Amino acid sequence: MLAPIGAASLLYVVITRGFVDSAADHGLAWPLLGVLPTLVFGIWLLTVSSSRSAVFIATASTAMAVGSACETFVQRNVELIQQPWFPLFNMLGLTADAVATAAFLALFATYPTGTPERRWQKVAVAFVWVPVLVGPLTLLTTPHVVMQPYVGISGDAVPNPFAVPWLEWAAPAVQYAIYQPWPSVLLGLSVLYSRALFGDAEVRARTRVMTWVVTAALASFVMWTFAPLTWITTAAVFASLAAVPLAAIHGILRYGAFDIAPDDRGRLVSRSSNLLITVLFGVATATPAVLLAGSLSVTGAILLTTLLAVCLLPARGWLRGWIQRAVFGDRERQFTLLSQLGTQLDQAVDPNDLLTRLAGAVRDGLDATWVRIRLSGHDGSLAQSPEGAAGEAGGEPVVSCGLVRGDETLGRIDVGPRRKGEYSDAERDLLRTVASQASPSVANVRLSAQLAQQLDDLTASRERLVAAQDDERKRLERDLHDGIQQNVVAQIAGLRLARNRLQRGELTADELAGLQDQARETLSDLRELAHGIHPPVLSDNGLVAAIESSAARFPIPLTVEADDGVRAERFPEDVETTAYYVVREALANTAKHANATTASVGLARENGHLQIAITDDGCGIGTLPPAASGGLANIRDRVAALRGSLNVSDHDPSGTTVLVELPVKREGEHLG
């Protein structure tokens, strides 16, 4: 309803003043520069919002257009003021001006929600609408027609046939209380300034910009009314009116004025700004030619309009770009960041270099004070990398975004406050885009680093295995040389003597019995040596029996737990040997270092793996030898040789658990 009324009123004014009366002083500055921008913004605002503030600004701008149309009609048809119906028409103009004033006051006093916070403020805003009664009251109380001063025509000599004689006594009160709107203006401004100066911190912040605009508009209108009319005061009035939509756009973006949702603010601010810029551009290019139409030829008016359009195009583009940067950030710089980031990440082969480049690119692209990148560890925790930082981090991050590839979380990008202002929704989207683009590079470089580390660990493990095998070979040589070899040499010498004595007939049965005992002792030594290399019970009866046999000689109480399936199954020889020596090595660590009172060994088969858990109630992992050497390193090397896994952890309240998983597979079974 408001849109066609306002559009028709302005169209009538422009056609009448600019074309029908082309030789007269058009006076189009007010409808084109003062009314049109606010009307366009107000009507557009009602298409996206149904808040009270949106209704106020649309109603005020429409009433201004109607008032301007009524003024134009009266000035161009002076002879009609003697018609008996003219007082009714004049009442329409008075009411339109009063509605515009009241609606603007209500908008300013209740901005940006449409409802003030305190009860007295709500009552005051209700009284702001009292001047709307000026039309009907003057029609009933004043015997002559009361016209607005700026119309330039006095109505004192025009009789008002609708006046009620017995109400004429109220004419002075109507004149000073309603016709002069200053009481209502002061009332509305008192509500605005009380909220802006003494309201809550949030209310003061939301009303600050609009308060400055209203103050400037009030000062310009006071000068326009009481000071001599100059182009400076006229320009100040028009600029203050144009600033009202700009302040409203600022309120939409920062505080959600007119009940516009956060997700829609940037988009709607961009649209409203573009619409307002387009209107102002059209007005600025067309108004000079229209105002000077009486002294310009048609060709001159066209040339002037074209020249102004060409000259104002750069200003229009700059203003639109500035608003886009204010709302969405510097898109050009951000797109440059995205285009260059891929090349930078592809060139980075070192994890530290990659994180440094990524952090620097994010900080420069978002204009952040600092950026910190944290990568996920093996346990899922996030650890900050010193290289993955740009700027000195301080406090909690303002924006964070995960580095995710598939279902795996690689890390997180934390961003500090922006150097100027706050991050827009577009900049937050840009961070998510950068994180998505960088995740594959982070995953690949991290995987390369992990493979290099695993290669180094594997090389060190193989070197330790070779060294251990060499030490074992030397020990066997020493045991054979110092023990069994000497026994065999002695037995050979004894057999030589026995043969000589046999030839002389001096050999006795006791000497042969002694040689037999020596051979038996050598056999026992060989068995003991073989037992140290591979216990017979492991080959004959299996893994569980071999561990239980060792448990009988363990110095502290030891329990072995295994279900019937594990006891009955024979695992591959390398798996059984590795498992046996892993258990022995872990138990040896427990006996030497843990000061434990009890220990247990649990064996289970699950998901294609043999799981072995060695647990004690000792003083914990902190007492075990370093992982680079000693029993724990031997266990890790043996397990790694079969591509198994090892996990050593403390448990509450005390003690250590060594958990080993060795891959085993039956025929037709897949490893889990």
- 48 backbone dihedrals φ, ψ, rounded to 5°: -120, -5
Distance CA 167, CA 170 (A): 6
**379: confidence class by pLDDT, cuts 50, 70, 90:** very low
> Is residue 214 pLDDT above 80, yes or no?
yes
170-180, pLDDT tens digit by residue? 888 777 755 56
pLDDT at 240: 82
pLDDT at 414: 86
Helices 630-641 and 425-479 sit at what angle, rounded to 10 degrees? 100
CA dihedral for 479, 481, 486, 487, sign (positive or negative): positive
Q: Which of 540, 543, 646, 633 is nearest to 589 (CA)?
A: 633
The three-class DSSP label of residue 481 is helix
pLDDT at 225: 74
pLDDT at 660: 93
Inter-residue contact 131 to 185 (CB < 8 Å): no
Instruction: Kindly state the tokens that stand for 311.
Output: 């000259």
**401: confidence class by pLDDT, cuts 50, 70, 90:** confident
Instruction: Kindly state the tokens that stand for 587.
Output: 């138990």
Instruction: Kindly state the tokens that stand for 443.
Output: 């995953």
Distance CA 658, CA 621 (A): 10
> Is residue 566 pLDDT above 80, yes or no?
yes
pLDDT at 382: 44
Q: What is the mean pLDDT of the chain?
A: 76
Q: What is the mean pLDDT of residues 592-603?
A: 86
The three-class DSSP label of residue 662 is strand
- 671 backbone dihedrals φ, ψ, rounded to 5°: -70, 135
At 354, the amino acid letter reads L
> Is residue 269 pLDDT above 60, yes or no?
no
19-55, pLDDT tens digit by residue? 776 554 556 777 877 788 888 888 888 877 888 888 9
At 138, the amino acid letter reads T
pLDDT at 272: 61
Which of these ranges, 230-244, 308-322, 568-582, 651-665, has the smallest mean pLDDT? 308-322
Inter-residue contact 135 to 181 (CB < 8 Å): no
Share of the chain above pLDDT 70, in %: 71
76-131, pLDDT tens digit by residue? 888 888 888 888 988 898 899 889 989 999 999 998 888 888 899 999 999 889 88
Instruction: Kindly state the tokens that stand for 205.
Output: 């912040």
The string of DSSP codes covering 81-94 is GGSTTHHHHHHHHH
Contacts 24+ apart (CB under 8 A), 82-88: 82/158, 84/161, 86/145, 86/158, 87/139, 87/145, 87/158, 87/160, 87/161, 87/162, 88/139, 88/162
**672: confidence class by pLDDT, cuts 50, 70, 90:** very low
> Is residue 603 pLDDT above 80, yes or no?
yes
The string of DSSP codes covering 550-609 is HHTT-SS-EEEEE-HHHHHPPPPHHHHHHHHHHHHHHHHHIIIII--S-EEEEEEEETTE
Q: What is the mean pLDDT of residues 263-269?
A: 57
pLDDT at 479: 54
